[in-house]
Structure 1
Amino acid sequence: MTTIYIRTLKRAEHTVFCVAEGQKTYYDVQFNKYVPFSSGQQVKRSLIDTLCSEIKQIPSPTTFLFDINKKNEMEEGEVYGTCDPTYADQLFGGWMKAGKGGKDRTLKRRSPLSISAMRALHPLLAGTAKENASFDRSERPNNRVVVRDLNNNELSDDDIVAYLEGKDRSLSRKWIKPANRATGLFVSDIAIDLRRLFSVSVNSFEPEMSDSTIEKLRSEGWIDSENVFGKCLVAPKPLREEWIKGLAKALIDWKITSNQARTFSLMDTLAISISDNANLIAGSIRAKLSEEDSDKANPIIDESLKGVNTFITLQAGGFIQTKGETYDALEKAEAHLIQLLSDFDYENQL
């Protein structure tokens, strides 16, 4: 086994996955509706944040470059990470450093974690609803109201009262543009490439690290080895054991957090499937159109697929017909994942 696949089923209630431009959606042409989703990048960041918190490591610093042009204006330059796998977010998240002008070699490491968007289990099992909102402080007697004229001069209280004559307008209440809220059952898939999980290539033709970083890793006990991608350095066993626990915890417990306090949702996990077979895991948590009503879909958790370990939480029974839900389902999933990650022979792949 060289790849582990994980499918996670979550439930979201009246929440927002991204508020930069309201709730993100895509259009499903078959079922003729807009469906909410959270991007794979957002899922990845949520997972990495959970990982760093679990292993108590501050994420790696990011370098932001800016250039002053001939007009003495600041322009956006490159952005790159440390390209140092002693940071867990770099080792598992990957990196790319491409210098300006093409004078320095580009350093690039593809993440061993392939992460899908968190999207609806089925287009008919998730949707959005608009919510009106307001910023209302009209009950407070100590508000300060400032009204400015065309010359940016403040009007006096008497001038404001005169201006409002014949107008029905509150000065202590603002209406906020209606925004979408997401609700439903959502699924996300993650593939873990065990061959590259703790291995970093030392190929000088397609470099992942600088020579100085390679020497630093060797001095810290990283092991020279080789896999199907060529010569590499493998993280020492004590570090692997520590980070496997943190990674397993993050893979099980990650959640999307909105930056709006009023739209918080637990986004609780209903079920997790783990397998080395991508085709089977896709069928372990799925949906099926109703035979009686083509506008209705029924969620299904298949508990009997050979080659797939499925773990079902107690709350899943409120939304899906299941028999195998347990109070410690996520703990069992985490333990199973730790075992799978620990069993792989990272140092002797060939």
Structure 2
Amino acid sequence: MNPYLYIRTLKHADHTVFCVEDGQKRYYDPIFNKQVPYSSGQQVKRSMLTTLTDRLNEQPAPVTFFFDLNAKNQLGEGEAYTECDPTYADQLFGGWMRAESGGKKRTIKRRSPLSISAMRLLHPLLGGIEKENITFDRSERPGIHNVIVRDAKGNAIPEAQVEELLEGSDRSLRRKWIPNNTRASGLFVQDIAIDMRTLFSVSLDGYEPELSPETIEKLRSNGWVESANVFGKCLICPAERRKELISALAYALVNWRITSNQARTYSPMETLALAIGQNANTITYAIQAKLDEIEAGKALPSLNNAIQDVNLFVSPAAEGFVTEKGMPDALYQAELFIVETLASFNYENQLSKK
């Protein structure tokens, strides 16, 4: 059985922000000569894992943040340590790395079994970035909101002096002008590859450790079973826990939206379609864009449900953008298909017997 499952997701985002420094994340597309918006794979991953833990109603793994004082008593950034414990769902699927300063302890790291792409435009011509000027306005209730004007030394100046400064000006001190805010709209595509060999397996390799000896003993006592895969000896997550996690993971893969890193200006970011299969190339045929043969400078979204070994699930929301007919239960059926595929993998007995 092919150990990989590939999922391509088509989403619609409307006048929203994948927010970080300098407003909307964007990059330059050299082929179509324009700035295009995107959400990083890291942001997508965090949003998926948040959806996962919310679905499970479980807390994510705690993180310990270290800060160091230098010789001048100044506070500096230190390490951030996670638990490195696969009993936490976000750790099992998200991976971890702990490299302690000083090099006195072994580095512990686990590569995530989920390879996650950035969410980017299906085609540079099928979306873009728009700018708008906004205000932080509290001028409608002047008796409630305070205004303090400070001099060059940071001291508040009297109200009478403020009124003198404003004479001959129509400026409002209860309204802040915020120019050139960017917003993103368009059809976005995102890809994920799931390695089922390591999805529920953690390595017991002592040369490149994924686990501390204490965590190994904890897992054994919690019913994790020793087995082997193509990477060597490993511990396998118990079947009962796998069933629970597979259901929640399938839900997260279908229903995530960008929520992390201060994503703002709400958009449902509705899922229009999912293409699911075990060939990384063919799922791209099922959800793609084509240049319009009649009108120059125009691209059209294209969904194809006739690709061999690819299952295409189209929601009714897609009918506003493509002619393909959507099904009301398409997203639920996509969840069921993911659950069935992941549950059918033989995690305990991965190696072929000769």
TM-score (normalizing by structure 1)? 0.97
5 Å-filtered alignment, 1:93-172, equals 93-142=94-143, 143-172=145-174
Cα distance in 1 between the residues matched to 2:103 and 2:158:
61
Secondary structure, in 3 states, of the residue corresponding to 2:44?
helix
Match of 1:269 in 2: 271
Question: Which AA in structure 2 matches 1:341?
Answer: L
5 Å-filtered alignment, 1:1-350, equals 1-142=2-143, 143-257=145-259, 259=262, 263-323=265-325, 325-350=326-351
Shift of residue 17, structure 1, vs aligned partner:
1.1
Secondary structure, in 3 states, of the residue corresponding to 1:244?
helix
Shift of residue 301, structure 1, vs aligned partner:
0.5
Q: Which moved more, 1:180-189 or 1:17-26?
A: 17-26
Q: Which moved more, 1:168-177 or 1:154-163?
A: 154-163
Shift of residue 260, structure 1, vs aligned partner:
6.1
Gaps of 5+ in 1: none
CA distance 1:141–1:68, change in 2 (3 Å) = closer
Cα distance in 1 between the residues matched to 2:81 and 2:22:
26
Q: Which moved more, 1:192-201 or 1:248-257?
A: 248-257
Cα distance in 2 between the residues matched to 1:315 and 1:77:
46
Describe the superposition over 1:135-166 as per-residue Cα deviations: whole angstroms up to 9, x where unpaired: 11222131322222234333333222222222
Secondary structure, in 3 states, of the residue corresponding to 1:100?
coil
Cα distance in 2 between the residues matched to 1:177 and 1:33:
21
Shift of residue 117, structure 1, vs aligned partner:
0.2
Cα distance in 1 between the residues matched to 2:160 and 2:337:
72
Tell me, yes or no, if the aligned pair for 1:257 and 1:264 is still in contact at 8 Å. no
Question: Which AA in structure 2 matches 1:288?
Answer: K
**Off by >6 Å, runs of 4+ in structure 1:** none
Describe the superposition over 1:253-293 as per-residue Cα deviations: whole angstroms up to 9, x where unpaired: 100137365x1100001000100011100111000111122
Number of aligned residue pairs: give it. Answer: 348
Cα distance in 2 between the residues matched to 1:260 and 1:281:
28
Describe the superposition over 1:49-90 as per-residue Cα deviations: whole angstroms up to 9, x where unpaired: 000011111000112122222222222111121111000111
Cα RMSD, aligned residues only? 1.2
Tell me, yes or no, if the aligned pair for 1:5 and 1:192 is still in contact at 8 Å. yes
% identity of equivalent residues: 57
Tell me, yes or no, if the aligned pair for 1:281 and 1:308 is still in contact at 8 Å. yes
Cα distance in 1 between the residues matched to 2:152 and 2:78:
39
Tell me, yes or no, if the aligned pair for 1:136 and 1:174 is still in contact at 8 Å. yes
Tell me, yes or no, if the aligned pair for 2:201 and 2:237 is still in contact at 8 Å. yes
Tell me, yes or no, if the aligned pair for 1:37 and 1:120 is still in contact at 8 Å. yes
TM-score (normalizing by structure 2)? 0.96
Cα distance in 1 between the residues matched to 2:153 and 2:112:
56
Cα distance in 1 between the residues matched to 2:52 and 2:79:
26
